[in-house]
Amino acid sequence: MIRFLKSLLLLPVAAIVVLLAVANRAPVQLSFDPVNVDAPVFSVNLPLYAILFGAVALGIVVGGVFTWLGQGRVRANARHHRREATRYEREANRLRPYAPDAPGQTYPGTSVPVRTALPAPR
């Protein structure tokens, strides 16, 4: 079902991209020299669709890099919590043998649960 929905959405997008590429095949001059407009030193002749696709691809890459860098604190926080959970799990497994045998044991005549003394911290 998901594959069908993806193809249903991507097929019109692919058709529009192909139509854009076919309609904009004429080469245009892309200049990187703002000083010399008549004879730029850094220029290249490319089809307009290549420039558009390159700009979109560059935007996706730059956006992905900045998003990844911006989420560094979130990833560090997740690593910290994962290490902490692992440490607590090891501690619980280490203390499990000292847990009371019968979970429902209470002191006679009260509802206070019987607690077993744990070993002293190291």
Distance CA 71, CA 69 (A): 5
- Complete DSSP assignment for 110-121: S-PBP-PPPPPP
pLDDT tens-digit series, residues 37-87 = 777 888 889 999 999 999 999 999 999 999 999 999 999 999 999 999 999
User: What pLDDT, on a 0 to 100 scale, did the predictor assign at position 116?
Assistant: 65
pLDDT band at 97 (very low <50, low <70, confident <90, very high): confident
pTM above 0.95, yes or no: no
